[in-house]
């Protein structure tokens, strides 16, 4: 990860689609089974839609049955941050991009081995780059 990325609200609105802005900058959630990467099976890297930070590898992606892209682990734990989220009448762990503070999704402890974690992300917060 490199230096922090800070932009004004107007700059983010100019760079992102309305859905991307809602998810990444307003902590929104896309509908399950609708995102462009939830069912992607190609090899590559998932980057932050806002700043391009490397977030997840395709080899750590799995079908969680939830309709959102799910991963076992991030590329590097330093590329994300996690904090408690008490919205929607439940306690969850929100995952954000450490470089630009974009909302990515949530972390759950019901994933497969070896990590037991499920990084449940929004497709609208991710940009996929296929491996050459």
* Distance in angstroms (rounded) separating the CA atoms of residues 54 and 32: 23
Residue 100 appears among annotated catalytic residues = no
The beta strands (E) that lie in the chain are given as 44-48, 54-57, 61-62, 70-71, 80-85, 92-97, 103-108, 118-121, 126-130
DSSP code of residue 124? G
Active-site residue (options: 51, 97, 100, 120): 120
Query: Which residue is it, tokens 């590559």?
Result: 44
Q: Which residues partner with 47 through β-bridges?
A: 54, 127
Q: Which residues are catalytic, by number? A: 120
């Amino acid at each position: 990860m490199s230096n922090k990325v800070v932009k004004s609200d107007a700059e983010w609105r100019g760079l992102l689609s309305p859905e991307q802005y809602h998810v990444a900058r307003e902590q929104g959630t896309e509908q399950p089974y609708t995102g462009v990467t939830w069912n992607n099976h190609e090899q590559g890297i998932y980057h932050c839609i806002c700043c391009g930070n490397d977030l997840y590898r395709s080899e750590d992606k799995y079908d969680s049955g939830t309709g959102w892209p799910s991963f076992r682990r991030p590329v590097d734990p330093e590329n994300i941050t996690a904090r408690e989220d008490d919205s929607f009448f439940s306690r969850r762990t929100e995952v954000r991009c450490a470089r630009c503070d974009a909302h990515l999704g949530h972390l759950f402890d019901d994933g497969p081995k070896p990590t037991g974690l499920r990084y449940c992300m929004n497709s609208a917060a991710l940009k996929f780059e296929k491996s050459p």
